[in-house]
Amino acid sequence: MEPAFRGSGSLVRAAILAVGSELLGSSRIDTNSLWLTARLETLGGEVVRKACVGDDAGAIAEELRHAARQAALVLVTGGLGPTADDRTREALAEFSGGRLALDTALLSSLRDRFARRGIPMPPINEKQALVLEGSEPLVNPRGSAPGIWFERDGVVVACLPGVPSEMKGMFDELVSPRLEARHGSAPRRRRILKIAAMGESAVEERVGPVYEKWKGHGFTILASIGEVQLHLLATGTEAEATAILDAQTADFERALPGRIFGRDDETLEAVVGEMLRTGGATVATAESCTGGLIAQRLTDVPGSSDYFRGGLVAYANDVKAAWLGVRETTLGAKGAVSEETALEMAEGARTRFRCDYAVSSTGVAGPGGGTPEKPVGTVWIAVAGKGARARLLRPPGDRAMIRGWTCAAALEMLRETLKDN
């Protein structure tokens, strides 16, 4: 445990409770708690336990009692919806001994929400305007389920919806400021460094000496498809912590020259988008094996219409030829999965979408379609700009992993090209 937490001199003990019978089955798992744990860490909190319980008010209340004995902060997710099996509200009332009363202001804000979508509010949603005596409703700008902030005997219980996007937004906008006001601000700073299209072990090998140099500092390495994240954590005043993080970042950058594409919440598609916007440049995509994934990631970014003109998913060979101008002779002699086809796809897209840049993918995503010469996982990507270049990939894993990795590698190749220009 690092020393931390201004004010009390110790970390705030936190418990997380995920509500939902579906989380007790054999297929779904609570992942909200991972995100909440990372956020709590930066706020000087420490998760000491977490639990999942079904949609049963008595059982939830029992879990609240237990959690409140173990922790000073209990974060609850789920069970705030309008349906009969959403029981967190009732459970909190049972736990606190308080009453639920209709909040007319909340009710009318719920009605407004439905009215804006042009539909009448279903009667069952009225339940979501019930507020526990002595608690504070937390308005949910992204959904109908309001959250709850409740304090008693030095224990805070904060209830948030289970839908990840709603939960995250409400934590950052409503819960985090209340926790900071209560406990002072975070003595721990986290920084995430992101690397695309490089394997976890390859990153690990290169950064070994940096780990060694900063021994005693806890680094975490986290891999997802096509992306590796290095999590840095430093303690001290803001200035001290930032100085440590900056020195560590410089060492990681030397170990991975040019490969750290962004930090913290930055995504690869947003970084690439910002480079295009800054350069006043436009881009298009020509995808085969990724089937629209590259275009989808580029357009995930708000405002991407400023630089993204369009994309083609050219699945059938005659579509590659007719829509992108890939030559029949290339397809015949080299095949759809080849350096030449990838290059002609990228060049065709750049010319025909009238863009500055275009990126292409063509490969065998599997599980079928592999041959001895081009087994599943054989992928070519290309970027066309002032010139054009292609790269052979051999991503590991199943169809989803091959597509995901290819997409990350294509965006990373585009980033490299933009950086060099």
Partners of residue 359 on adjacent β-strands:
285, 383
Min separation Cβ 204 and a copy of itself, Å: 5
337-366: contacts with a copy of itself (CB under 8 A): 353, 366
Q: Which stretch binds a copy of itself (CB under 8 A): 25-33, 97-105, 234-242, 253-261?
A: 25-33
**Piece of the chain touching a copy of itself by CB under 8 A; list 81-89, 90-98, 234-242, 247-255:** 81-89
Among residues 284, 306, 261, 310, which one has the least CA distance to residue 385? 284
Q: Does 176 bind a copy of itself (CB under 8 A)?
A: no
Q: Between residues 135 and 170, which has the closer beta carbon with respect to a copy of itself?
A: 170
3-state secondary structure of 239: helix
CB of residue 146 to a copy of itself, shortest distance in Å: 15
Residue 265 CB, shortest distance to a copy of itself, in Å, is 9
Q: How far apart are alpha carbons 168 and 147 in whole angstroms?
A: 12
- Kindly give the interhelix angle for 268-278 and 399-420, rounded to the nearest 10 degrees: 30
**Between 147 and 377, CB nearer to a copy of itself:** 377
Phi, psi of 323 (to 5 degrees): -90, -25
> Mask 144-163, x = binds a copy of itself (CB under 8 A)?
-------------------x
If one asks whether residue 205 binds a copy of itself (CB under 8 A), the answer comes out as yes
- Decide if 381 contacts 393 (C-beta within 8 A): yes
Q: What's the closest the beta carbon of residue 420 comes to a copy of itself, in angstroms?
A: 25
Q: Which stretch binds a copy of itself (CB under 8 A): 33-41, 177-185, 239-247, 337-345?
A: 33-41
For residue 153, with 0-12 CB atoms within 10 Å meaning exposed, 13-18 middle and 19 or more buried, which class applies?
exposed
Interface region with a copy of itself, contact rule CB under 8 A, candidates 130-138, 150-158, 172-180, 200-208: 200-208
Q: Which is nearer to a copy of itself, 135 or 140 (CB)?
A: 140
Are 145 and 80 within 8 A, CB to CB?
A: yes
Q: Is residue 315 within the footprint of a copy of itself (CB under 8 A)?
A: yes
* 173 forms part of the interface with a copy of itself (CB under 8 A): no
Amino acid at 242: T
Rounded-to-integer distance, Cα 390 and Cα 359, Å:
10
The window from 98-106, 130-138, 271-279, 368-376 that contacts a copy of itself (CB under 8 A) reads 368-376
Q: Is 291 exposed, middle or buried (0-12, 13-18, 19+ CB in 10 A)?
A: middle
CB 277 within 8 A of CB 306: yes
Choosing from 6, 7, 10, 25, the residue that interacts with a copy of itself (CB under 8 A) is 25
Tell me whether strands 357-363 and 379-384 are parallel, antiparallel or unpaired: antiparallel
Q: Which of residues 37-56 bind a copy of itself (CB under 8 A)?
A: 37-38, 41, 47-55
220 binds a copy of itself (CB under 8 A): yes
Closer residue to a copy of itself in complex, CB, 81/137: 81
Nearer Cβ to a copy of itself (183/403): 403
Eight-class DSSP state of 169: H
Under the binding rule (CB under 8 A), the answer on residue 82 touching a copy of itself is yes
Fill in the DSSP letter of residue 30: -
Which of 240, 254, 367, 371 contacts a copy of itself by CB under 8 A?
367
Please state whether the peptide bond connecting residue 137 to the residue before it is cis, i.e. omega within 30 degrees of 0: no
Q: Return left, alpha or beta for 250; rule: phi > 0 is left, psi -120 to 50 is alpha, else beta.
A: alpha
The candidate with the shortest Cα–Cα distance to 101, out of 125, 66, 130, 141, is 130
Comparing CA positions, the residue from 125, 133, 162 lying closest to residue 147 is 162
Residues in 233-252 at the binding interface with a copy of itself, rule: CB under 8 A: none
The minimum distance between CB 312 and a copy of itself, in angstroms, equals 6
Residue 3 identity: P
Residue 255 binds to a copy of itself (criterion: CB under 8 A): no
First to last CA, the chain: 46
63 lines the binding site for a copy of itself (CB under 8 A): yes
**Candidate residues 101, 102, 124, 243; the one interacting with a copy of itself per rule CB under 8 A:** 124
- The label of the residue with tokens 């060979």 reads 317
145 versus 271: smaller Cβ distance to a copy of itself: 145
Beta strands in 185-252 (DSSP E): 188-196, 220-224, 227-235
The stretch among 91-99, 196-204, 246-254, 270-278 that binds a copy of itself (CB under 8 A) is: 196-204
